C-alpha cells in the first residue's frame, strides 16, 4: 500500500530564502508546480532523479491568513494549530506525503481504525489524496496517482 516517501511540505515565512537554500546551497532543482499549476508562493524542489521531494509553501508574514485558510480548508481539524508562531523549526513541516497504491483498501483500513480523514482530488495531476494524522498529530498525505 505505501510505496515510498512522496514529499515533505514546508510552510515558511522565508520562501525566497528557503528556495535559494535548497537550490543554491544544496544544488537541488526548483521544478515549480506539477500539472501546470501556477503560484508564486509554492514550489516543488527535486532531487537528482527529478523527484519532487519538498513542497515549499510560502506565507506572507504581513498577511498570513490566506495561506492558513487554504491549509485549514484542505486539512480541517487534522491541523489543530496554525499561526505564525507555529512556523519555526520542525513545526514548519505541515505534512509528510507517501506515494500509495490501492486507494479503497487504504481508506477502508483507516476507517476500520476509526481515524478522522480528509479527502482531496487534484485532477490536473490525476491524483486522489487521503489526509490522516498519526498518533503524534503529524499529518500524513497519502497520494494515489492514476496509472
| pLDDT per residue as tens, the chain (147 positions) | 888 888 999 998 989 999 998 999 888 899 867 665 556 788 999 988 888 899 898 999 999 999 888 888 888 888 877 888 878 787 788 899 999 999 999 999 999 999 999 999 999 889 999 999 987 688 999 999 997
Confidence at residue 107, expressed as pLDDT on a 0 to 100 scale: 95
pLDDT at residue 91, as a whole number: 78
**Domains defined for the chain, CATH in brackets:** 2-145 (3.10.180.10)
What's the pLDDT at 74? 86
Looking at residue 100, its pLDDT comes to 92
SS3 track for the chain: CEEEEEEEEEEECCHHHHHHHHHHHCCCEECCCHHHCCCCCEEEEECCCCCEEEEEEECCCCCCHHHHHHHHHHHHHHCCCCCHHHCCHHHHEEEEEEEECCHHHHHHHHHHCCCCEEEEEEHHHCEEEEEEECCCCCEEEEEEECC
Return the pLDDT at 81. Answer: 78
Amino acid at each position: 500500500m505505501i510505496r515510498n516517501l512522496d514529499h515533505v511540505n514546508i510552510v515558511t515565512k522565508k520562501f525566497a530564502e528557503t528556495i535559494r537554500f535548497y537550490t543554491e546551497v544544496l544544488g537541488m532543482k526548483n521544478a515549480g508546480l506539477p500539472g501546470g499549476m501556477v503560484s508564486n508562493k509554492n514550489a516543488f524542489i527535486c532531487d537528482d532523479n527529478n523527484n519532487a521531494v519538498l513542497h515549499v509553501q510560502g506565507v506572507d508574514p504581513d498577511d498570513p491568513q490566506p495561506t492558513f485558510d487554504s491549509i485549514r480548508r484542505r486539512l480541517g481539524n487534522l491541523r489543530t494549530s496554525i499561526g505564525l508562531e507555529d512556523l519555526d523549526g520542525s513545526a514548519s513541516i505541515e505534512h509528510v506525503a507517501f506515494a500509495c497504491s490501492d486507494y479503497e483498501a487504504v481508506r477502508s483500513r483507516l476507517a476500520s481504525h476509526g481515524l478522522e480523514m480528509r479527502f482531496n482530488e487534484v485532477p490536473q495531476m490525476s491524483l486522489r489524496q487521503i489526509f490522516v494524522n498519526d498518533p503524534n498529530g503529524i499529518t500524513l498525505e497519502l497520494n494515489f496517482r492514476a496509472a
